[in-house]
Amino acid sequence: MVDFELNEEQEMLVELARTFADDELIPNAEHWDREGLFPAESIYKARELGLLNCTIPQEYGGMGLSFLDEVMINEELGRGDPGFATITGVTMLACHPIIYAGTEEQKQEYLGRVCDGKISAYCVTEPGAGSDVKAITTTAILEGDNYIVNGAKMWIGGAGHADWFYVLAKTADENTYGALSGFIIEANSPGLSVGKKEEKMGQRSSDTRSVSFDNVKVPKANLVGGVEGNGWLQAMVAFDRSRPMLASHALGNARGAMEEAWQYANERRTFGKSIFEHQAISFMLADMATKIEGARLLAHKAASMLDKGERATLAAAHAKRYAADIGMEVTTDAVQIFGGYGYSEEFPAARRMRGAKIYQIFGGTSQIQKLIISREINKDYQ
């Protein structure tokens, strides 16, 4: 049976997240974005309220919630401020490889630190390799009890504030998935340096930087799971588990844009009536609502599959790709409904649209999601 009802606990969680977004995120989002401010105090408040670290097990200090709970909470955070949602989202992205494959000591130490308020970051992309993960060139060579890591990562969310990094590196000199291994690297390691804050189109509160490794010594104990060659699987599991959440951020941002446009459409008058009364506008709003509903159903389906322990690669790709693409469409239409004011930074529509674009790029581009979808479905035709 498919059940679309929320239970009492979920209703309370969503209400809590919505109120937090209304009181803490929406009033600050414009200022954070304009000044490029990292919202450390609000991250602290969200954690105190129990809105972060949703799917980290309780034994390590997390909330121990379901993936479905996580996407519901995160839709509200994305509606509040997608930049904020990205910061808290990348911390979870870095935690997933540890939850999935970490040793007990790694879970206790590094998940424990995140649950105590530290931030972690996920270092896969490099200047020369994004979609093509296998093409990374960062190396980790075992010397005695340490790996020596050399290389550079690019576009790392939260890097300037991270306490530790999940880093994908090559432990064998081969162009194979088996050459990839995952490491936990402390931010204060000698030889690790974090670059300047990138000037981005949107989500400017989410700190994004390069991270370089110059002969960084990493204890053998920080090889994730204690096994070489498992990095590809860890990185991909992290994507499967975080794509429904990214989808919920994109659709939450789209929902925020639609709500703001809807209100404006009833206030703004042209030719003697509200612009909502022009069918071209009310139909545009109806299209937005349908797209958002569809995106939510896909995100919930992928999250529910994860909750059942099922492989969710296809469902997560559908959810991420659809929410990212409709997020761009809905926010662009919201700008249109605001007319000239939509083009002004005085109104939220422009910021929503700038913030929407990144969902088609990070966490696997929309083209890469289509690649996954087509490959996964094609298995049934071979």
Q: How far is the CB of 110 from ligand FAD (least distance, A)?
A: 17
Residue whose beta carbon is closest to ligand FAD: 130
Q: Do 309 and 357 contact (CB within 8 A), yes or no?
A: no
Identify the residue whose tokens are 């990839």.
180
Of residues 132 and 214, the one with the C-beta less far from ligand FAD? 132
Paired tokens of 211: 């991270």
CA distances from 368 to 40, 84, 130, 318 (A): 32, 25, 11, 11
Identify the residue whose tokens are 């990094």.
165
Q: How far is the CB of 362 from ligand FAD (least distance, A)?
A: 4
Q: How far is the CB of 16 from ligand FAD (least distance, A)?
A: 27
Q: How far is the CB of 280 from ligand FAD (least distance, A)?
A: 32
Q: Do 200 and 208 contact (CB within 8 A), yes or no?
A: yes
Of residues 62 and 130, the one with the C-beta less far from ligand FAD? 130
Q: Which residues fall within 8 angstroms of residue 339, CB to CB, at 6 or more apart? A: 268
SS3 122: strand
* Sign of the CA dihedral running 19, 24, 27, 32: negative
Of residues 245 and 258, the one with the C-beta less far from ligand FAD? 245
Instruction: Residue 184: name the closest of 110, 234, 116, 237 by CA.
Output: 110
Q: How far is the CB of 70 from ligand FAD (least distance, A)?
A: 18
**Distance (Å, rounded) from C-alpha 303 to C-alpha 74?**
12
Q: Do 274 and 268 contact (CB within 8 A), yes or no?
A: yes
Instruction: Residue 311: name the closest of 261, 229, 258, 372 by CA.
Output: 372
Of residues 246 and 257, the one with the C-beta less far from ligand FAD? 246
Distance of CA 180 to the CA centre of its chain: 22
Of residues 131 and 215, the one with the C-beta less far from ligand FAD? 131
Burial class (CB in 10 A: 0-12, 13-18, 19+), 238: buried
Of residues 6 and 236, the one with the C-beta less far from ligand FAD? 236
Q: How far is the CB of 116 from ligand FAD (least distance, A)?
A: 21
Of residues 55 and 120, the one with the C-beta less far from ligand FAD? 120
Q: How far is the CB of 240 from ligand FAD (least distance, A)?
A: 15
Q: Which residues contribute to the site for ligand FAD (CB under 6 A)?
A: 90, 122-125, 130-132, 155-157, 200, 208, 358, 361-362, 364-365, 367-368, 371
Paired tokens of 119: 């931030």
Q: How far is the CB of 62 from ligand FAD (least distance, A)?
A: 20
Q: How far is the CB of 139 from ligand FAD (least distance, A)?
A: 17
Q: How far is the CB of 83 from ligand FAD (least distance, A)?
A: 10
Q: Which residues fall within 8 angstroms of residue 268, CB to CB, at 6 or more apart? A: 274, 275, 339
Paired tokens of 278: 């022009």
Of residues 156 and 315, the one with the C-beta less far from ligand FAD? 156
Of residues 289 and 377, the one with the C-beta less far from ligand FAD? 377
**Distance (Å, rounded) from C-alpha 284 to C-alpha 244?**
26
What length is written for the chain? Answer: 382
Of residues 89 and 342, the one with the C-beta less far from ligand FAD? 89
**Distance (Å, rounded) from C-alpha 42 to C-alpha 48?**
10
